[in-house]
Chain A
Amino acid sequence: MMEIMEGSHAVAEIVKYCRPQVIAAYPITPQTHIVEALAQMVANCEIDAEYITVESEFSALSACLGASAAGSRVYSATTSQGLALMFEVCFNVAGMRQPVVMSIANRSLGAPLSIWNDQQDSISLRDSGWIQLYAEDNQEAADLHLIAYRVCEDHSVLLPAFVCFDGFILSHTYEPVDMPTQEEVDGYLPPFVPYQRLDAKDPLSMGMYATPEYYMEFRYEIDRAMQRAKQVLVRAGTEFSEQFGRDYTGLVEGYRLDGADTALVAMGSICGTVKDAVDEMRDAGKKVGLLKIRTFRPFPAPEIADALRDVGTVAVLDKNISLGNSGAVGTEVKAALYGSGIRVLDYIIGLGGRDVRKEDIAKIVDLAEKGEGDMFYGLRTEVL
């Protein structure tokens, strides 16, 4: 049913339909509306979950790890400083192969302290073994949670996932969302069947330590699971499309790339702005398109290379900066296109909530076509 919903509420609603048994989360702007909504649902008996009011994000994810290891479907949500506090647990959850699903209402990382959006938080955890999905709008933010649970809990994957959606830009914005019913969700997402669990009837030691004889093989296995997650994502996305009529078949999504000379590459809500800008530029006769990266981990390098094979120039929009190098997405897209002869330029944009408008996208395309890039875009030079 179509409803006008705040992004956070759309996420909370879909999470409810996913029937997590244990929820552990700690409030942090701009994630708060999700956890408040879930707490209210628990208080109203609309959802049959244990809600653990933990004393920190570190404990939130640790509790999720324990509950998942004991065989329950779990949920958490955080952002920014909260995610940074979880750093150690994040690597642990992935290494212990627990299919935890966590929403990230993307926000910048201090210092300076900022509550506004960029994607530095989740991108900084790109090596942690979590699947990372980025939503363009509230509908996608909701839908990706369903897909995430399906994929994470698949016994050929058994990895955790971040479902990322931009803080404030989506989390606090009302948009029409087609919310499925509980029956529809149940038809798509089967009950959680743990691969193995803590159980006195069948003892198992979990999270043992590995000597150099074994450590590398365990890391290799996690990476292989990540690779397998690609096919499982495509399968889950295809089935989702069949059941709900919204297309999630690809790890990346091309927009007006046919015949494009220049392609923009972006993740998250900025894709909406880029699409509008592309439409305007196309109307003006400019051959421009967009490649939206929905799945950042596992990184769809061949899919990106394939989608961009016919363009001459690529402009990557990075809402993050690997300080001392460049934007993370730019670096990886360059690697994906290595040897193709395609020129790839990186633009650091929108850090800490800096607005990016359609005009900026057009200007970036101009810069890219002139070969000017690998730079911060939109700096207020007057304060420097």
Chain B
Amino acid sequence: MPLQVGCAARPGKARENKTGAWRVFRPVVEREVCTKCGMCALVCPEGCVEETEDETYVVDLDYCKGCGICAEVCPKKAIRMEREEK
């Protein structure tokens, strides 16, 4: 790909950097406990918690860095952090 004049770029390329590889702990959502308040999706610094068709929340593990903020803010404690098996 030729360089874009002036070190500029169109959006779209950041997602090629799969930050999920950084993760040490993985968030696991317990669907039965989740009340679908959406706090986890709102506060994730990666924007990688997505609302699905049936209004549940799933984490895109390609990008989740495992910071644990979602687990910490979940009012129902429906998310627990589990160590990644390597």
Contacts and interface: CB of A to CB of B under 8 A. Distances in A.
State if A and B touch, Cβ cutoff 8 Å: yes
Contacts of B3: 214, 217-218, 221
Nearest to B6: A97
Interface residues of A, number: 19
A206 B7 CA distance: 6
A371 B9 CA distance: 55
A195 B8 CA distance: 12
Q: Which of B3, B5, B9 has the most CB of A within 10 A?
A: B5
B9 A218 contact: no
A212 interface: no
B11 A95 contact: no
A97 B9 contact: no
A314 to B, nearest CB: 38
A204 B9 contact: yes
Q: Do most interface residues of chain B lie in helix, strand or loop, or is the interface mixed?
A: loop
Interface string A366-380: 000000000000000
Contact of A209 (B4, B7, B10, B11): B7
A196 B8 contact: yes
B10 A206 contact: no
A204 B7 contact: no
A82 B5 CA distance: 28
Contacts of B7: 95-96, 206-210, 214, 218
B6 A95 contact: yes
Contacts of A196: 4-6, 8
Contacts of A158: 5-6
Interface in B1-34: 3-11
B3 to A, nearest CB: 6
A203 interface: yes
Contacts of A205: 8-11
A223 to B, nearest CB: 13
Interface of A: 95-98, 158, 195-196, 203-210, 214, 217-218, 221
